[in-house]
Structure 1
């Protein structure tokens, strides 16, 4: 009798172990998600986008393994709002995140907010959703969703954070005196200070930490958001990368090319870790950029697009976009319909086993059925952009840009990618129709939670006008 009880106990323990292992196996089979985001890169400044001067062999190889999107958009032409949109899957104007959040801004009631600006706490992030679905979540690099502790990544669904809270900082280590009191520019590990080494370049640090995170979590599903500050100013590159740049490139353009080399090398290290661990068939990889390249500050090129960062011409809002998943997405695929970084949240949630259709208020869609050919229609017939009185709407092939100080402009984007042939005077009925769509959308938005100081606001408008249509290269 004693032996029978003992055997029965052993049998129960064995079944418990088998069940536990089976459960762990099911959890581990969920796809990993790696999202790589560059900062202020030019539309044309990648090999896979046609550049002959900028060396990006690792991203070029990634492009060949999956889908390259030719009409990918961000939801804003500047860093902060663009990131708020992709993290929530909603037009960020719906919750008042219309401007960049940096010190020196004012609220809509002209009340100084200091560092109390960030992604509203009632908004749910993609990391929140993925964490509930059993994912280990982490962000490495630029956050820019608020400086105060209440907006910190560890309070917005992320388990780990190695990065900085502000929108830009040096690529080299700060000492204890510099920057004075600006904690948002220091590199952090969680809520603690990261031990920056003087010889370590920021782009390499972020790759190191991402690789380590992947290694630690290879047995469970993970979401890694690698948010480079490259190639945002300040213009700082490694000396050995500068030596690799073609000699005909000079000044900031030369430094930018070197910074791009460094970023591509860092991306290659992360991608190689995925391959080394045998995770390629179980990892969705996405690469994109947060807004158009600022041709004035870092001398990026958005060719053949007109416009630059901070305006609503294509050069301010159309971005490089790659998606790869071995065995799921067909290699060397070109997808030509308009998509948006708003689509990242629903795509990631559905990949993780959730149901994005049950999330209220999303403006993005799951892209996988479209790129796999399961849905033949366009993911978006209509897309919107707005900052202050400036706004734009794209409906099918037509795009209307509204200005506060001049008549609206109308372009056929499919036929005129460089936006050089304004057809507004020829198609007044279409102008009215698109204005109506824009007005109806604006009725769904909240008031901006903060806005630029008036002095800076004027300079921003002047900057946008001066770079409205850079000369198109032949």
Structure 2
């Protein structure tokens, strides 16, 4: 009997240690790039490509590297799949969202942010969303405490900056500006033209995202992310951050710093230079 008791005690100890470890919930940062292939990241291409991604490579070398995965074919479907854990056919998020469309993340879809928010996490989303641009679809009514970012592909955001864009149609079919929003307890009954009822959130227009701003908007997104993390730490709260930088979207614009990295010796294209910027952003956050 004593041996059995000792054996039982020994078997309980690992669980007790595990329980102690779980008393402090882990902080979670998910970084989702745009239009990135496996060959764009050094640890995967093994040096056969021109670019360099030391921060991403370090994460892989010090953590875990996956070599097989399944992904949805479009941006909207893939992001909806991730944040809800559901197949897009269940949420209706099967195609790329367009400006003003009545298609977006449905109210009944439970997000990772909602689940973690209910467990005491501070939840923030920064960068690309693409899950609907009406107020009812914004991240801050789907479990996120704060959102700063944009709601479509970059080419849709820059369309109004083109000289042949019909400006008289901008407020009719044009893209919504960047958004900075926060979840609130107050149900704001204000109805905004095109975007609908505000609801339980505070929304600020964060301005247009035209080519010039695209050069450095990832640094804006990074700074908002770091401010959110600092705030969560100051409040002693675990945090969940979903960071969605613009890089390396097929339509993009580089700042002089990263454009200057391209030369005849290294043979870098806009892809390698843009990935260098993404790698720097990741290094700053991690």
User: Quick one: which of 112, 122, 131 aligns to 1:136?
Assistant: 122
Pairing of 1:342-381 with structure 2 (within 5 A): none
Matched, 1:31 2:26: yes
- 1:158 alignment counterpart: 144
For 1:26 and 1:189, the matched residues in 2 are separated by: 35
Instruction: Give the drift of 1:121.
Output: 1.8
User: Quick one: which of 187, 193, 198 aligns to 2:178?
Assistant: 187
Matched, 1:47 2:42: yes
Distance 1:56 1:133, change over 3 A: same
Matched, 1:124 2:110: yes
User: Quick one: which of 268, 273, 284 aligns to 2:283?
Assistant: 268
For 1:249 and 1:53, the matched residues in 2 are separated by: 7
TM-score (norm 2): 0.73
> 1:102·1:166 contact (CA, 8 Å) conserved in 2?
yes
Moved over 4 A (4+): 25-28, 169-172, 182-185, 195-200
Instruction: Give the drift of 1:140.
Output: 0.2
Distance 1:246 1:65, change over 3 A: farther
- 2:135 alignment counterpart: 149
Q: Secondary structure at 2:154's aligned position in 1?
A: coil
Aligned length: 232
Q: Any idea what the Cα deviations from partners look like across 1:229-253, whole Å, max 9, x if unmatched?
A: 2111322112221222352676xx7
RMSD: 3.0
Note the residue ranges of structure 2 that are not aligned, 5 or more in a row: 1-19, 182-202
For 1:46 and 1:193, the matched residues in 2 are separated by: 34
Matched, 1:79 2:75: yes
Pairing of 1:374-413 with structure 2 (within 5 A): none
> 1:53·1:246 contact (CA, 8 Å) conserved in 2?
no
Q: Secondary structure at 1:77's aligned position in 2?
A: coil
For 1:127 and 1:167, the matched residues in 2 are separated by: 23
> 1:168·1:185 contact (CA, 8 Å) conserved in 2?
no
Matched, 1:115 2:101: yes
Distance 1:246 1:263, change over 3 A: same
Q: Any idea what the Cα deviations from partners look like across 1:434-453, whole Å, max 9, x if unmatched?
A: xxxxxxxxxxxxxxxxxxxx
TM-score (norm 1): 0.45
Note the residue ranges of structure 1 that are not aligned, 5 or more in a row: 1-24, 104-113, 272-474
